[in-house]
Amino acid sequence: MIGSAIASADQADAELAADVVRAALARAGSDIASSILLFLTTDFVHHAHAAVTAAARAGHCLQVVGCTAPGVFTEADWVLDRPAAAAMVFAGGAGLAAHTDVAQPLLSLATPAAAVPDWLGAAAARRYGLLSTGAAAQGAGRVWCHGKLDVAGRCEATVAGAQEAIGVSHGILALTPPRTVGAIEGYELRTLGRHDALTSLMHALPPDLRAGEKLPLHLLAAAVIEGDPHGAIEAGRFVLVPLLGVSHTDRSIALAARVERGAQLFWALRQPDAAEADLHRLAERLGAALDGPPDFALLFSCLGRGPYFFGGADRDLAAVTTRFPGLPLIGAYGGGQIAPHAGGARLVHNAAVLALFRDVQS
């Protein structure tokens, strides 16, 4: 028995958290929750303790996990720029475990300062989740675990009694095939394949972007392949590196991270239609990986990828709800997502992390 609910108000009142828990319980057909996943907008940063306490009281449950974020959503609606609360309650069968089991994927929520490499990259932990940030996707939010605010700024929990399928959608359009990095000095990429870096990028751009006065660097990235280049783009085996600037004098491009000479790299473009199609493919692939239809879902999206990116509608959320109509879902928009990775986990940006679960206890 699982239910979700979302509500907004003019002010950040702790009772809003209690209201969504009661509404979610009604949808689950229960009076008591065994565990609660609660997301609050950043308006609750200074009222988080009271809101979490109210939610725990409404659900008759001490196992409350969650964080503040710039926006929240469920399968029914999304809310940004207004005080809001979203809750998912578990009332039997699958639920959030009070202890962590590193053999299972870890739902991980953390402030930016708490998401340190040693924690993210622990090889034994397959993490997925969200950075809890301020309203502008910067600064720190609040994180709670087991019904209490966590002073360290991070929380981890397992979803017990469920089969999971988890993946990440980078939502990019590959503009070129992978090419070999040639000359590079520090962060300055000078040659890629047979061309200087800027010429390589300009040739790859669509005509409308190429003709503009300024390159849309915020929509572009250098995608560095991990492992065998064959099939890497389709499998998502790449790391996106933002572009910081270009030099028309020496035809170089400044990258936000160091890239090794000889690495395989392709140019990528953030584009709404490509992002929506990528999320559709991810939902289809994860659904097929389960032994049957999913019973609930978690979705963590970047503030720069949600309704702002899609022109006022969350097409990522719509892709999941269209594929799985009526599926209880909860999620939040943040300044970064935590995605599972071969080395444990890593931070990704402008991405969406989707987790589908099938209750094996019911």
For tokens 């070999």, the residue is: 180
pLDDT at 101: 63
pLDDT reported for residue 103:
75
Which tens digits make up the pLDDT trace of 202-239?
999 999 888 777 899 989 999 999 889 998 888 888 98
Q: Lowest-confidence range among 56-70, 137-151, 194-208, 254-268?
A: 137-151
**Backbone conformation region of residue 171, classed left if phi is above 0, alpha if psi is from -120 to 50, else beta:** left
Domain boundaries, the chain: 2-169+274-359, 172-269
Query: Residue 320: CA atoms inside 13 Å, Cβ hemisphere, count?
Result: 30
Calculate the CA 238 to chain-centre distance: 16
Rounded Cα distance, 242 and 159, in Å:
33
Confidence at 28, pLDDT banded by 50, 70, 90: very high
Pull the structure tokens for residue 362: 């019911």
At 314-362, the pLDDT tens digits run: 999 999 999 999 999 999 999 899 998 776 788 888 899 999 999 997 6
Q: Which two tokens stand for residue 163?
A: 């089969």
Residue 134 · residue 153 · CB < 8 Å: no
What is the rounded end-to-end Cα distance, in angstroms, of the chain? 8
Task: Output the pLDDT for position 99.
Answer: 66
- Dihedral angle sign, alpha carbons of residues 81, 308, 353, 245: negative
CA distance 337 to 333: 9
Distance of alpha carbon 221 from alpha carbon 192, whole angstroms? 14
Strand 127-131 versus strand 106-110 pairing type: parallel
In whole angstroms, give the CA distance from residue 48 to residue 30: 25
Are the CB atoms for 38 and 9 separated by under 8 Å? no
Query: Residue 355 has what pLDDT?
Result: 98
Q: What token pair was written down for 152?
A: 């360290």
Across-strand partners of 334? 302
Closest to 355 (Cα-Cα) out of 313, 336, 335, 327: 327
**CA separation for the pair 310, 319 (Å, rounded):** 12
What does the block give as tokens for 267? Answer: 């140019």
Render 178-235 in DSSP notation, one character per residue: -EEB--EETTEE-EETTEEHHHHHHHHS-HHHHTSSS--GGGEEEEEE-S-STTHHHH
- What Rg value do the Cα atoms of the chain yield, rounded? 21
Whether the CB-CB separation of 128 and 104 falls below 8 Å is answered with no
Tens-digit pLDDT profile for residues 49-93: 999 999 999 999 999 999 999 999 999 999 999 999 999 999 988
Quote the pLDDT of residue 7: 98
Mean pLDDT, the chain, as a whole number?
Answer: 93
| For range 83-109, the mean pLDDT | 88
Token pair in block for residue 325? 């109509």
pLDDT-wise least confident of 32-41, 120-129, 143-152, 219-228: 120-129
Is-contact 245 187, C-beta < 8 A? no
In single-letter form, the type of residue at position 97 comes to: A
Name the β-bridge partners of 68.
40
Percent of the chain with pLDDT over 70: 97
CA distance 16 to 72: 13
Place of tokens 């990704």: 348
Q: Which one is predicted more confidently, 362 or 139?
A: 139
Q: What is the DSSP code string of 276-313?
A: HHHHHHHHHHHHHHSSS--SEEEEEEETTTSTTTTTSS
Q: pLDDT at position 8, please?
A: 98
Q: Write down the pTM of the prediction.
A: 0.92
